[in-house]
């Protein structure tokens, strides 16, 4: 069964997409994004934990996170001749 992302999970995933290679710490995330939303993204495999700035734990989007948002990985989106990609309307994981 697919998990439909909540507005807070979507907001967190959208923010994580801005720093593709860096682990974003809690203080860099928008207001309203809490541990529960981030832990859900990690448990679904859409985000991963790692060393962030100042030695704090941070989060980074995984290739599955990109698939959830766009239906493609970052590399597929940025491939030469791939054309323009837009976020999907409904974000769910795993896709049906």
The tokens describing 45, both together, are 């495999």
How much is the pTM?
0.90
Question: What's the pLDDT band for 11 if we cut at 50, 70, 90?
Answer: very high
Q: What local confidence, expressed as pLDDT, does residue 95 receive?
A: 81
Beta strands in the chain, from DSSP E residues, in sequence order = 3-4, 24-25, 47-51, 57-61, 92-93
Q: Are 19 and 40 in contact (CB under 8 A)?
A: no
Measuring CA to CA, how many Å separate 95 from each of 2, 58, 62, 85? 6, 26, 15, 18
Q: pLDDT of 31-89, one tens digit each?
A: 889 889 999 999 999 999 999 988 899 999 999 999 999 999 999 999 999 889 999 99
Q: Is 6 helix (H, G, I), strand (E, B) or coil?
A: coil
Top CATH class of 3-80 equals mainly alpha
């Amino acid at each position: 069964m697919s998990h439909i992302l909540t507005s807070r999970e979507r907001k967190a995933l959208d923010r994580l997409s801005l720093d593709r290679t860096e682990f974003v710490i809690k203080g860099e995330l928008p207001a309203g994004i809490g541990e529960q939303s981030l832990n859900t993204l990690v448990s679904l495999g859409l985000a991963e934990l790692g060393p962030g700035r100042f030695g704090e734990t941070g989060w980074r989007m995984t290739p599955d996170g990109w698939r959830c948002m766009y239906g493609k990985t970052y590399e597929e989106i940025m491939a030469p001749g791939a054309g323009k990609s837009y976020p999907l309307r409904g974000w769910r994981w795993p896709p049906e």
